[in-house]
Structure 1
Amino acid sequence: MTISTNSLMSLREYFSNQQILICFNGPISTNLIGEIGSALKEHIESNHAPELEVMDVFSVYIEMSQNIRNYATSHGFSDSESSATVVIAAAEAGHYAVCAGNLVEMGDGQALLERIHELAACDKAQLKLLYKQQLRQPHTQTPGQGAGLGLIEIARRSSQPMEASLDPLEPGRAFFSLRAII
């Protein structure tokens, strides 16, 4: 597909209407995560957002992006397989939506979806307790073993329960999407 000037204008209008601040789609590296994070932080700060809000959005973006990068690396995914889609947008009532998605093995995606639904059912006090319990667990160095402390931290920083979806792709794989409102 070739991007024309008309389609670029349409894309710009869509981004503006959806209040999308930053959007990325493609292979994600550690350096790129940092660069996008810096741009995100500067943009939110320029809107005179409270420092705690800036740090919450930044932290959730970093956690989601690093989880995607770590997962792709631990599974030996190629550049095209390790592509991520990350969108940060202004949301209702002065909040921000941090959304990220990536290719996963179907079983991993189903387990992650189940974990997110469990966390979505927890209130702030329960999330704090889960966080403390997870901190006391022995730390595993097994590559790709995520969805522990970081996911709980995203849930704790979110102003609403996280939302997630799993869209089947080729046999045994799916596209996992996660949305957090900060």
Structure 2
Amino acid sequence: MAVLPRFLTDPDIGRHLLRDEGEVIVDEVRKHRIVYVVPALIACAGVAFLVVSAVASVQLAWLPMLLGFGLLVWAAWRALAANLDRFVITNMRVFRVNGVLSRSLATMPLGRILDITVVKPMTGRVLGYGHFTFESAAQDQGLREIRFVGAPDQRDLAIQRVVQRSGLRGPKVN
């Protein structure tokens, strides 16, 4: 039996695919594990407040207990939000689904991608994550920056391969 209902732990990517048009998933990208560090630290602070409430006087124990539970809930919310944030590469487009209670979907067809910038900060180079920035002809787009992508070089190559195979960049020149 699951602790949380499926709609809270799985963004259900399949329902956003254009299956009748032949769209298939090339890669579904979860956030890198580094995004769980801050929620873990917040949870540790919450546990510390709960420990303090256990040794505090009865009259004042409610305040650290309330803070501890509040921090634990906040940490769980941040971890759940990171778990539900997915970036998907298909043979037709790239899209991002995120949100816990309300979901948002940002889509960009492969033909609109003009440039992809991959930024790997020093810690990202060591731990294996990076950030994507998509440039398109549109001024404002819902899918501009994707942060904390694991194995960013391989993901970039996957996008470039899909764009090349779709014929959007023209044939290879020898």
TM-score, normalised to structure 2, is 0.30
TM-score, normalised to structure 1, is 0.29
The structure having more radius of gyration, on CA atoms, is: 2
Between Structure 1 and Structure 2, the one with more helix by share is: 1
